[in-house]
Each structure stands twice: as structure tokens, then as C-alpha cells.
């Protein structure tokens, strides 16, 4: 089945426009085009400028490339500190919002650990209207554990053993048609 990458975009409107602007005109989604691996000595500068950084992963079910663009990266005392910023209209952060955001920043740490020493991962949620921080945490990071999580997700996706989401999530999802087409094949 041929999938049009435009169908896989997550988000729309102002949020998508800002993301595309921030990360150099690149559209995000589940499907991405393979990128060349950048030279290690250029990765910090590229990441700090908002560029997407790739990391290849060759496992028993295939060859994959995981890509991500960090919101912030800075040099700490013992390596680099990677920070993911999220904005929300919510006043309290629950598990449904927190768990995917933590996984996202751990994936960024895994990608960048291939090039740079990673000291720490940070996650911060900012209220859209008040611009105040409503949640901030240091996210634990173990490169091998994150790689195992990524492999588990890839295996589940490839074997179509993904857990069904909560029904309310599907109603609001922008890629619902994709999920339905995958589960019917």
C-alpha cells in the first residue's frame, strides 16, 4: 500500500505552520524521507538551529531511521542538555499528555547520543495564555532502554499489534484514516 506522506501530518493550522517555520520548512508525520547522516562535528550546531537530526537503527525486522528536531540544546557540565517545550491550554498535565512527551524527549536523547554526550533531558509544559510553566521535570535517560522501547514500538507496528487507543482520542485524531487503513489490511 502506497501512503502519501501528506496524509500523515499530525496537526494543522497555526501549530503546524509554526512547527514548519521553526524547523526549516520540514513537515512532520509518521512517515519521513531518509536523510543523510550528518558529520558528528556539525550535529550540535545543526540541532541548536532547529534542524532535524537522524539516527539509523538496523534490527531483525528491517532498517529504520528515527528523526527528530529538539526545541533547545545547550552544553552542560558533563555533556549536552536537551529540552523539549510543550504548550497547552490545560492547567494540569495528566498521564495521557505526559507519557508521550517524556517518550519524545527520550527519543531525542537517543538520537543525539549517537553524536554527542547527553547529560540530561528536560521537559517543560507552558500554559498558552499565561505563558507560565505548569509542569517541569528532568526525564530519566538510558540510551539502551530507549532503544529497546523504540524497537518494541517498531515491532508492534510492523506486526500490527498496537494497542487500540482510547475511543475519545480517535474522534479527535487527524490521522484516523491511516489507522483504519492499516488495521483493515
CATH code, domain with 72? 3.90.320
Domain around 17: 5-184
Grid cell locating 105: 524527549
* Bridge partners (DSSP) listed for residue 56: 65
* pLDDT tens-digit readout, 113-170: 999 999 999 999 999 899 999 999 999 999 999 999 999 999 988 887 766 666 766 7
Phi-psi region of 165 (alpha: psi -120 to 50; beta: other; left: phi over 0): beta
Rg of the chain on CA atoms, in Å: 17
Q: What is the pLDDT of residues 51-94, one digit of tens each?
A: 999 999 999 998 999 999 999 999 999 999 999 999 999 999 98
CA neighbor of 69 nearest in space, from 87, 48, 40:
48
pTM summary value = 0.76
| pLDDT of res. 120 | 97
Question: Looking at residue 36, what is its pLDDT?
Answer: 94
The structural domain count of the chain equals 1
Amino acid at each position: 500500500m502506497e501512503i502519501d506522506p501528506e496524509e500523515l501530518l499530525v496537526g494543522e493550522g497555526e501549530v503546524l505552520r509554526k512547527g514548519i517555520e521553526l524547523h526549516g520548512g520540514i513537515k512532520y508525520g509518521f512517515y519521513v524521507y531518509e536523510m543523510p547522516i550528518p558529520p558528528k562535528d556539525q550535529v550540535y550546531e545543526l540541532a541548536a538551529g532547529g534542524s532535524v537530526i537522524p539516527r539509523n537503527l538496523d534490527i531483525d525486522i528491517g532498517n529504520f531511521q528515527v528523526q527528530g528536531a529538539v526545541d533547545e540544546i545547550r552544553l552542560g557540565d558533563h555533556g549536552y542538555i536537551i529540552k523539549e517545550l510543550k504548550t497547552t491550554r490545560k492547567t494540569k498535565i495528566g498521564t495521557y499528555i505526559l507519557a508521550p512527551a517524556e517518550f519524545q524527549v527520550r527519543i531525542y536523547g537517543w538520537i543525539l547520543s549517537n553524536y554527542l554526550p547527553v547529560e540530561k533531558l528536560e521537559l517543560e509544559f507552558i500554559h498558552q495564555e499565561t505563558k507560565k510553566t505548569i509542569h517541569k521535570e528532568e526525564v530519566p535517560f538510558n540510551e539502551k532502554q530507549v532503544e529497546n522501547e523504540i524497537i518494541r514500538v517498531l515491532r508492534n507496528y510492523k506486526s500490527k499489534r498496537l494497542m487500540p487507543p482510547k475511543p475519545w482520542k480517535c474522534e479527535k485524531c487527524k490521522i484516523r484514516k491511516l489507522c483504519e487503513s492499516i488495521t483493515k489490511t
